[in-house]
């Protein structure tokens, strides 16, 4: 999929404790597809990943959250990990930033615990989503439908369950980001 996202800029909202593979591998896939992928974070210099059972690599922050503008991005990626999305959903600025993507009709991709932000912004309502299994009650209570599938595309949002799903997640994320949410907002697909 070389250059299918050429000219697009993607925000990756993350903080310390992101699941390392769920940020690094999708970011690389976006860049391989020609996108400019920028890490946006409440931290202003770098954030540290979580690699399965221990701290992992540090990733530089491209844009501090307090100076990020959702209107400057074409799409949003929400990596998982437990700590990362839990801290972000408690940060009013992070919630406001993520909500702006939904308000502006832009596509969003969330993996593992990343869909917690969809719950927090109210964007889970009316969508079919997948996630790490422990989020299913939160998603249902927020008006969404939870299913246990590798990847789901629903109304401008793509979701997956865990690092094992990254190849399917990346494929569907790139396809969604290429189309943009305006065309895909009325479509819903359950993929494998």
Can 141 be counted among the known catalytic residues? no
Can 87 be counted among the known catalytic residues? no
User: How many Cα atoms within 13 Å fall on the side-chain side of residue 170?
Assistant: 20
Which two three-digit tokens encode residue 104? 């502006």
Residues recorded for the chain: 192
**Per-position DSSP letters for 83-118, written without gaps between them:** HHHHHHHT-HHHHHHHHHHHHTT--EEEETTTTHHH
Bridge partners, residue 59, by sequence: 47
Which of 25, 106, 113, 127 is the catalytic position?
A: 113
Which of 29, 112, 123, 124 is the catalytic position?
A: 112
If you ran DSSP here, which 8-state letter would residue 53 be given?
T
How far, in Å, CA of 140 to CA of 160, rounded? 16
CB proximity list for 84: less than 8 A, separation 6 or greater: 14, 15, 16, 17, 18, 19, 50, 113
CA-to-CA separations, 138 to 96, 109, 111, 142, in angstroms, rounded: 19, 18, 15, 6
Which residues are marked as active site? 112-113
């Amino acid at each position: 999929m070389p250059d299918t996202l050429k000219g697009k800029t993607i925000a990756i909202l993350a903080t310390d404790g992101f699941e390392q593979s769920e940020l690094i591998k999708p970011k690389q896939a976006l860049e391989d597809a020609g996108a400019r992928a920028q890490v946006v974070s409440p931290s202003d210099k770098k954030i540290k990943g979580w690699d399965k059972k221990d701290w992992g690599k540090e990733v530089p922050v491209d844009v501090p959250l307090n100076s990020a503008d959702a209107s400057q991005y074409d799409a949003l990626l929400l990596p998982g990990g437990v700590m990362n999305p839990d801290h972000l959903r408690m940060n009013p600025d992070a919630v406001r930033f993520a909500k702006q993507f939904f308000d502006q009709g832009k596509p969003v991709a969330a993996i593992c615990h990343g869909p917690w932000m969809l719950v927090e912004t109210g964007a889970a309502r009316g969508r079919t989503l997948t996630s790490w299994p422990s989020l299913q009650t939160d998603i249902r209570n927020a008006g969404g439908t939870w299913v246990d599938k590798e990847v789901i595309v629903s109304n401008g949002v793509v979701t997956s369950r865990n690092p094992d799903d990254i190849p399917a997640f990346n494929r569907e994320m790139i396809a969604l980001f290429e189309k943009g949410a305006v065309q895909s907002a009325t479509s819903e697909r359950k993929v494998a």
